[in-house]
């Protein structure tokens, strides 16, 4: 029996691009509809019609209407990555503040329907889904920031970078989830800044053993 012919790399690349375009088309169709009507009033059939795809294609990519939240989060992670790429010379602390700012700004400017989508996802998510709610790309990005901060002496080495990244994002997400019910932008900013400030205090590297004691004046 002959071996199956290997798939040419260009064919795989073409298929990947086609999938990406289909995924994008569905997402942008949903965003367009969510911008005109409440989340609950927009149906999967309407999204499919505008995106020119079948229901099976929609569910293959997103699983449910609330599953579009994952794409929203991935795009937010991309924006954070782009901002950090441009922030050359920024300290690890400054980069973490940039992450907090991007998350807060994105949700603060989000449409009502996007917030309703997030609320529905949270209500129906399993414990495992809540635990793994953050895009892997964002977790890796924040872990790398922590790792760099530890290497430079800015952060303590007492904690694993992946664990710290999860704690930071879980804290910011928890505050955002509570805020979804109120829509008070000031509480979102105040809460996320307070949480990150608290975590950064615990991350700070201890002073050298031979440093002179700080004297209050």
Residue 34 and residue 117 in one domain: no
Residue 157 has pLDDT above 90, yes or no: yes
User: What gap in Å lies between CA 47 and CA 32, rounded to an integer?
Assistant: 9
With vertex at residue 140, the alpha carbon angle to CA 172 and CA 130, rounded to the nearest 5 degrees, is 45
Residue 101 and residue 126 in one domain: yes
Closest by Cα among 109, 113, 112, 107 to 42: 113
Q: Whole-model pTM above 0.75?
A: yes
Alpha helices in 87-160 (DSSP H): 92-108, 112-124, 127-131, 136-152
User: What gap in Å lies between CA 170 and CA 127, rounded to an integer?
Assistant: 13
Number of domains in the chain: 2
Is residue 190 a part of any domain in this protein? yes
In contact, 77 and 135? CB cutoff 8 Å:
yes
pLDDT per residue as tens digits for the range 68-119: 888 888 899 999 999 999 988 999 999 999 999 999 999 998 888 888 888 8
Q: Which pLDDT score, from 0 to 100, does residue 4 have?
A: 41
The domain that holds 18 is classified in CATH as: 1.10.10.60
Secondary structure letter of residue 41 according to DSSP = G
43 C-beta neighbours (distance < 10 Å), count: 11
Q: Which residue among 62, 78, 93 closes a domain?
A: 62
pLDDT per residue as tens digits for the range 160-198: 999 999 999 999 999 999 998 876 778 899 999 999 999
User: What gap in Å lies between CA 77 and CA 193, rounded to an integer?
Assistant: 19
Is residue 213 a part of any domain in this protein? no
User: What gap in Å lies between CA 149 and CA 91, rounded to an integer?
Assistant: 7
In contact, 102 and 79? CB cutoff 8 Å:
yes
Domain of 131 in residue numbering reads as 68-203
Is residue 111 a part of any domain in this protein? yes
In contact, 115 and 107? CB cutoff 8 Å:
yes
In contact, 93 and 116? CB cutoff 8 Å:
no
Is residue 112 a part of any domain in this protein? yes
Is residue 212 a part of any domain in this protein? no
């Amino acid at each position: 029996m002959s071996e199956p012919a290997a798939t040419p790399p260009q064919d795989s690349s073409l298929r990947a691009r086609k999938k990406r375009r289909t995924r994008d088309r569905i997402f942008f169709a949903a965003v367009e509809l969510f911008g005109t009507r409440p989340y609950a009033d927009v149906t999967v059939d309407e999204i499919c019609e505008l995106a020119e795809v079948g229901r099976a294609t929609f569910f293959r990519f997103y699983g449910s209407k609330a599953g579009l939240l994952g794409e929203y989060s991935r795009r937010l992670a991309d924006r954070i990555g782009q901002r950090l790429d441009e922030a050359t010379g920024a300290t690890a602390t400054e980069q973490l503040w940039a992450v907090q700012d991007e998350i807060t700004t994105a949700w603060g400017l989000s449409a009502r329907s996007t917030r309703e989508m997030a609320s529905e996802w949270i209500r129906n998510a399993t414990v495992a889904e809540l635990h793994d709610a953050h895009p892997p790309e964002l977790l890796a990005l924040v872990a790398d920031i922590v790792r760099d901060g530890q290497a430079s002496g800015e952060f303590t080495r007492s904690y694993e970078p992946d664990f710290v990244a999860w704690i930071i994002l879980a804290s910011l997400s928890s505050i955002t989830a509570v805020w979804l019910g109120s829509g008070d932008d000031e509480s979102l900013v105040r809460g996320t800044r307070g949480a990150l400030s608290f975590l950064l205090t615990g991350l700070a590297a201890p002073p050298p053993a031979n440093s002179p004691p700080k004297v209050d004046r």
